[in-house]
Amino acid sequence: MRAQGNFDYVVPLISDILVAMQSREETCLRNGSQERGGVRNHAAHHSFHPAVLDPTQSRSVSITRGKTLGRRATTARSGVSYAAGVEQKCRFNGKRRIRGGVPEIGPEEVLIKLNVTGLCMSDVHFMMEDWGMPPMSQFGTKCAGHEGAGVIVKVGERVKNLKVGQRAGLKPIQDVCHTCEYCKTGRETYCLSCVMTGLHIDGSYKQYIVSPERYTSLIPDGVPDEIAGPIMCSGSTAYTSIKESGLRPGQWAVFPGGGGGVGMQAVQLAIAMGLRAIVIDTGAERKETCLKYGADEFIDFKEVENPVEKVLELTGGGAHAVFVTAVQSYPIAQGFLGHRAGAQVMCIGLPPAGKYNMEVNPSALAFRNQSIKGTLVAGMADVDETMDFARRGKLRLEPTVVGLSKFNESVQKLKNGQVAGRIVVDFNKE
């Protein structure tokens, strides 16, 4: 039975569980069974540790995954081979090593060795299973993560354009069908057959990952890994939302949670696109950082009695758009629009199922032509465009970079809302 709300219980990638899962999968294969039920109970009360896999090749064990989604079989996700008996690169607790595996690649796939992974609240939601989605365990997925940056170390025999040594990353969507109406119109992240990284397949909380050539994003020179990783999800998602708002230079953009990991990137991108940014957050450090990046105003909600009234005063009647990254702000988000005709609430942050629902005034939507719109994650084109902002120095993310020994602690801090800005784990640091 799954424990509710116990974060340590549902974190799927801890050292003991990784060993238990691999051992169990090999046993199941020998017995002709795909049962996985006992693995999760083994996880109770353990601490989280990342797995960093060594590229040494060894004998392979074919592990049949869980449910195949849409076209996943075409990217070899329905039957993944792992090299068994490969010793992990890192020590845990300074006392022991664990054993894991490096995935084999298909003929049209590449193997990426990640140098870093960003930590995203979506990882926490997947592990906590509070989005009302099927759990990771249903798909046989061992680890979350979708903000990876590293280098291609192996290519499949039919790979045409990617080469060993090129820098590449891992996005929230690992692949799509490439044939549906969404894929054909540049909205492929809404493809009904998409493969979600860290949910349907293993994510970037391990060092070696497989990516299909046709949906692999490259990282340009001049963009460090610790910036490229977060751009794969949070930075590019913020960029897509700003693009989809259609705001023009000089218009007002309000960012509840603009001092957080996603919001701080959104603020910089908005300013780079000519918008006037108002950040609603709290804390002297966040205020200093946001103003340094060019925000017009910083409203500390702990000091200002009514942030909505303050926004209406500063903007002369209401924001042209409010970009919600702090999910607690959804219930009051429409208020920031005031009487501004054509204004929009852009939904970016994803709250737990059933929490922080919006209070919508349909009359205001009609009389003022206001709207509410959501953005999931960025497609390949927007990831590339966001990378270019960073390459040109317009996105100057300053993440906190930690080594492997701080991985568990960092995830716990993220879960508890104790992270200012973005946090990145460097696989090459202890």
> 269 and 242 in contact (C-beta within 8 Å)?
yes
Number of domains making up the chain: 2
Domain annotation covers residue 114: yes
The per-residue pLDDT of the chain, averaged, comes to 80
Given 330, 359, 374, the domain boundary residue is: 374
Note whether 282 and 339 are same-domain residues: yes
Give the pTM.
Answer: 0.78
Note whether 174 and 95 are same-domain residues: yes
Domain annotation covers residue 382: no
pLDDT tens readout for residues 227-249: 999 999 999 999 999 999 999 99
> 223 and 391 in contact (C-beta within 8 Å)?
yes
Token match 């009647």: residue? 317
Note whether 46 and 12 are same-domain residues: yes
Note whether 279 and 417 are same-domain residues: no
38: domain CATH number is 3.90.180.10
Query: Which has more pLDDT, 425 or 83?
Result: 425
Note whether 171 and 106 are same-domain residues: yes
Q: What is the pLDDT of residue 163?
A: 98
The token pair that represents 72 in the structure block: 């996943």
Note whether 215 and 244 are same-domain residues: no
Note whether 215 and 239 are same-domain residues: no
**Crossing angle (nearest 10°) for helices 407-415 and 121-128:** 80
335: domain CATH number is 3.40.50.720
The token pair that represents 257 in the structure block: 């949670």
Note whether 247 and 360 are same-domain residues: yes
The token pair that represents 179 in the structure block: 């044939």
Q: What is the pLDDT of residue 91?
A: 28
Domain annotation covers residue 383: no
> 271 and 239 in contact (C-beta within 8 Å)?
no
Query: Pairing relation of β-strands 173-175 and 167-170?
Result: unpaired
Mark 298-311 as b/e (b = at least 16 C-beta within 10 Å): bbbbeeeeebbebb
Note whether 97 and 37 are same-domain residues: yes
Distance between CA 170 and CA 216 in Å, rounded? 7
Note whether 213 and 242 are same-domain residues: no
| Domain with 184 in it | 7-219+399-426
Average pLDDT over residues 77-101: 32
315 residue type, one letter: T
Note whether 193 and 252 are same-domain residues: no
Note whether 96 and 149 are same-domain residues: yes
Domain annotation covers residue 1: no
pLDDT tens readout for residues 30-76: 333 333 333 233 233 333 333 333 333 322 222 223 333 333 333 32
Domain annotation covers residue 209: yes
What's the full length of the chain, in residues?
430
CA 165, chain centre distance (Å): 24
